[in-house]
Amino acid sequence: MSIQAVLLPLFVQVILTFVLGFWAARVRVAAVLSGAARARDIALREPNWPRPVLQVVYAYQNQLELPLLFYVLTILAWITHHADLVFVLLGWVFVVLRVMHAFIHVTSNHLRRRATLFIAGAVLLAVMWAIFIVQILFGLG
């Protein structure tokens, strides 16, 4: 696979993270400027933000957790020449699940739907890691 094909899902995940991060910064600043949140109540990361702010902030923070394992795996798969078509397709599914998870998080925040997408992404990523580990340990692929 080409480097572009392998890294494109990773780039989309990075873009999603930056979009949510800048959005989180914007809604936090807006909340402080409007008086909806007071600096002394949130200065040490206390969760005293209005609910809509927390939705965006937590959606952003979620992109810094599980996707870290995706980033590492993608880089390792490329370096070791194990980033094949199956890897790229599974990577795209993982990223689509993350986008859907983030969308639900910042809109309806329906916990069951959000959790289902999170679990699906986590299982998929675990399968990707398992495939990679087997390929490396047993010289497959």
Rounded (5°) CA angle 75-79-83: 75
Q: In CATH, what number is assigned to the domain containing residue 35?
A: 1.20.120.550
Q: Give the pLDDT confidence score for residue 57 in this predicted structure.
A: 96
Q: Give the pLDDT confidence score for residue 49 in this predicted structure.
A: 92
- 8-43 per-position pLDDT tens digit: 999 999 999 999 999 999 999 999 999 999 988 888
Q: What is the pTM of this model?
A: 0.94
Work out whether the CA dihedral 50, 54, 56, 57 comes out positive or negative. positive
How many domains are there within the chain?
Answer: 1
- 78-135 per-position pLDDT tens digit: 999 999 999 999 999 999 999 999 999 999 999 999 999 999 999 999 999 999 999 9
Quote the domain boundaries for residue 60: 3-138
